[in-house]
Each structure stands twice: as C-alpha cells, then as structure tokens.
Amino acid sequence: MARIHFAADHGGYELGRALEARAKAAGHEVVWHGADQLDPGDDYPIFSIRVGAAVVADQDAGVDAFGTLVLSEGFAGVVAANKVNGARAVQAASPRAAADTREIVDANVLVFDGIAFEENAWLTLSAFVTASLPHSVERGRRILQIEEYENAGTIEGWAVQLEPEQIAVSRE
C-alpha cells in the first residue's frame, strides 16, 4: 500500500477527512497535513505546499507516496502545489482521468474541489494511487523534458537513447 499525504482547507475539510478515513481503512499509510479542526479562515497555499513537499521528499527517498488535496478552489491548489520542484499536481474528476494523469505525466498529487461527491472522489483517488507510468521511451522523454525545464529553465532536446536491442518489439 502507498503513503498518502492529505490536507484540506475550510472548503474541503469534511471530504478531506472522509477520504483520509477511507484510505486508512483500505490499508494505506496516511499523513494529515491540514488543520486538526475546521478553520474557516485557513488558506490553501500552505497546505498545498506542505503536501507537495512531503510527496517529493518521500518519493526521493524511494517511498511509494502520493498527495491528496481537497480545497474550496481546487485549481488554485494545483498551481500552489506545482510550485514545489518535483510535484506534479493535477485535478481529475473520474477514475479514468486520474489513471491517465499517472500514466501520461506521472502525476503525484491529486486535487479535488471540496464539493466533489465522496464516492466518486474515493474511486478517483483509488485509481490514482494504483495506476502506474508505463515504461515507454516517449513518456519518459516527455517527463524528462518537463523536469529539465523545471530545473534548468530550458529544454535542450533531451532524448532518451536506446540501443536497438533495448527497444521492445511487438509481434502481432
């Protein structure tokens, strides 16, 4: 099972806590980074950055970790979490969309609007943490280009080079 870092602001507190409880019941290790109780005056940036930083630190240490944010304005949390170098925060409204974000850009933080329906949010979160990045040259190359820009401010055309014997051949 994965480690899931959770946080929620005032607009997503109830759903965030419900998803946290469901993740624990499913056997995931859970770390809560939000307020201990509902605080109508809290702000999303600190929670978004805490979750993004914790996920990146865990992944750098080899831990299978993800983040989940539940916020009154989910899109704003996506922007804030993505300020953490290495965080790839996305919103997804369905299990298929969540799996796609993992399979295409290796997303590691999932963000919900606080008004999301709990059952759909749980199914979407479950799909997110169980999907994986396929081992393909194209996907890897694109992620490396994003990371190169994130770290160096440029894309010099990194190309993943493989020898012909390393390329999988499909026989139909």
Give the pLDDT confidence of 86-132 residue by residue, as tens digits.
Answer: 999 999 999 999 999 999 999 999 999 999 999 999 999 999 999 98
Whole-number pLDDT of residue 156: 78
Does 147 or 78 have the greater pLDDT score? 78
Whether 30 contacts 4, CB under 8 Å: yes
Residue 172 clears pLDDT 80, i.e. is over it: no
Per-residue pLDDT tens for 6-57? 999 999 999 999 999 999 999 999 999 999 999 999 999 999 999 999 999 9
Q: 75, 90 in Cβ contact below 8 A? A: no
Question: Is the Cβ–Cβ distance between 31 and 6 less than 8 Å?
Answer: yes
Give the Cα separation of 37 and 161 in Å (integer): 51
Q: How far is 7 from 135, CA to CA, in rounded Å?
A: 31
Q: How far apart are the first and last CA of the chain?
A: 35
Tokens 């480690």 found at: 3
Residue 95, Cβ neighbours under 10 Å: how many? Answer: 18
Token reading at 131: 């999907």
The pair of three-digit structure tokens given for residue 25, joined into one six-digit string: 């019941």
**Nearest partner of 56 among 45, 46, 67, judged by Cα:** 67
Q: Please tell me the predicted confidence (pLDDT) of residue 159.
A: 53
Q: Measuring CA to CA, which residue among 66, 78, 82, 84 is closest to residue 132?
A: 66
CA distance 17 to 132: 25
161: confidence class by pLDDT, cuts 50, 70, 90? low
Q: No. of H helices and E strands in the chain?
A: 6, 5
- Structural domains in the chain, sorted by start: 3-130 (3.40.1400.10), 137-166 (no CATH)
pLDDT band at 139 (very low <50, low <70, confident <90, very high): confident
The DSSP letter of residue 92 is -
Asked if 160 and 144 touch (Cβ cutoff 8 Å), the reply is yes
